[in-house]
Amino acid sequence: MKKEWEKDRGLFIRMFLTMFFLAALYLAFIAVLSVLGVSIIPLVFMAGVMLFAQYYFSDRLVLMSTGAQIVSEEEAPELHEIVSRLCINADIPKPKIAIVQSSIPNAFATGRNSKRAVVAVTAALMKQLNKGELEAVLAHELSHIKNKDVLVLTIAGFFSTIAFFLVRYLIFFGGRDRNSGGIMIAWIVSVIVWLLSFLLIRALSRYREFAADRGSAILTGQPSNLILALLKISGRMEQVPKDDLRKAEGMNAFYIIPALSGESILGLLSTHPPIEKRIEALEKIEQRL
């Protein structure tokens, strides 16, 4: 299983290069700020506290924002049976399982590590999919846990958060010292770093989705089930009321398929690859299997 899990070198290289460019960007950012004499220690501390709290309490915050309810084995025996079996295959501890009462068919995983993880599905998803398709979706979410995606994306976003704070902080500071050319240069550099890191982190997020799709295919041995699940979920999205989609958009980074109202900029800068690309990748895996 381990050999198969690490086999996709192309995907690994793309993720590695994205992280490399992020690291290079952040190092250049620090160097420029140092030359300009801008002290970022308070902002590093602020960003560190904020991201640590987000990482440490991510499972609770996500459950609260979605209204997800943890269910016991007696309340949802089928879900527990599927997750228990997949966790054995994935060699990870069994996470908590939650159900969200929502009209949007979707699923997500959260938690700072495999011992604190939660996998959640919506009631609409359970009605929409058959057992094989539901298993494929749950395997996708468990792959996020095994791949430590919450940790990876939190680390990747650290200096991006600092750059965002500097964009806001330097406008205020510069307003009181307009003759300082260094402040203006630092502000421009911060804007550029934030924009570039935003795009790179979105690219990294999309690669992590490909990796989770691949993990699902390996865990279940049936990539076609995930293909059918993705098609059903995306097709159902068009029938969900726009207001329900707008309310769920803040959670799109966690969902297996983003809940887009059609009017959001998230449709242009999505955290997920296009469905067509994901299906194409799964079909290639199916041919190899």
Looking at the predicted structure, is the pLDDT value of residue 252 above 80?
Answer: no
pLDDT per residue over 171-227, tens digit each?
A: 665 545 544 567 778 888 888 998 999 888 888 889 999 999 999 999 999 999 999
Contact 40, 162 (CB under 8 A): yes
Measured CA to CA, the distance from residue 110 to residue 142 in angstroms comes to: 10
Measured CA to CA, the distance from residue 186 to residue 38 in angstroms comes to: 8
Looking at the predicted structure, is the pLDDT value of residue 85 above 50?
Answer: yes
Instruction: Report pLDDT for 281.
Output: 94
Instruction: Report pLDDT for 265.
Output: 47
Looking at the predicted structure, is the pLDDT value of residue 86 above 90?
Answer: yes
Measured CA to CA, the distance from residue 233 to residue 81 in angstroms comes to: 22
Is 140 annotated as a binding-site member? yes
Instruction: Report pLDDT for 261.
Output: 45
Encoded tokens for 111: 């938690």
219: Cα within 13 Å, side-chain hemisphere: 33
Measured CA to CA, the distance from residue 84 to residue 91 in angstroms comes to: 10
The reported pTM is: 0.84
Task: Give the other-Cβ count within 10 Å of 264's Cβ.
Answer: 16
3-state secondary structure string, 133-182?
HHHHHHHHHHHHHHCCHHHHHHHHCHHHHHHHHHHHHHHHHHHHCCCCHH
Instruction: Report pLDDT for 128.
Output: 92
Instruction: Report pLDDT for 134.
Output: 97
Percentage with pLDDT > 70 across the chain: 86
The pLDDT of 93-115, averaged and rounded, is: 90
Domain around 27: 2-288
Measured CA to CA, the distance from residue 258 to residue 268 in angstroms comes to: 12
Is 80 annotated as a binding-site member? no
Q: At what angle do helices 181-220 and 223-237 cross, to 10 degrees?
A: 120
Measured CA to CA, the distance from residue 197 to residue 45 in angstroms comes to: 19
Task: Give the other-Cβ count within 10 Å of 280's Cβ.
Answer: 12
Measured CA to CA, the distance from residue 109 to residue 227 in angstroms comes to: 19
Instruction: Report pLDDT for 108.
Output: 92
Task: Give Dmax (Cα) for the chain.
Answer: 68
Mapped onto helix, strand or coil, the DSSP state of residue 107 is strand
Contact 106, 244 (CB under 8 A): no
The mean-pLDDT minimum among 29-38, 130-139, 216-225 falls in 29-38
How many domains does the structure of the chain reveal? 1
pLDDT per residue over 42-62, tens digit each?
A: 777 877 787 777 777 777 888
Is 209 annotated as a binding-site member? yes
The mean-pLDDT minimum among 60-74, 169-183, 226-240, 265-279 falls in 169-183
Task: Give the other-Cβ count within 10 Å of 15's Cβ.
Answer: 20
Instruction: Report pLDDT for 58.
Output: 75
3-state secondary structure string, 167-225?
HHHHHHHHHHCCCCHHHHHHHHHHHHHHHHHHHHHHHHHHHHHHHHHHHHHHHHCCHHH
DSSP 8-state code for residue 261? -
- What type of residue is 117? A
> Which residues are annotated as catalytic?
141
- Closest by CA position to 202, among listed 8, 18, 64: 18
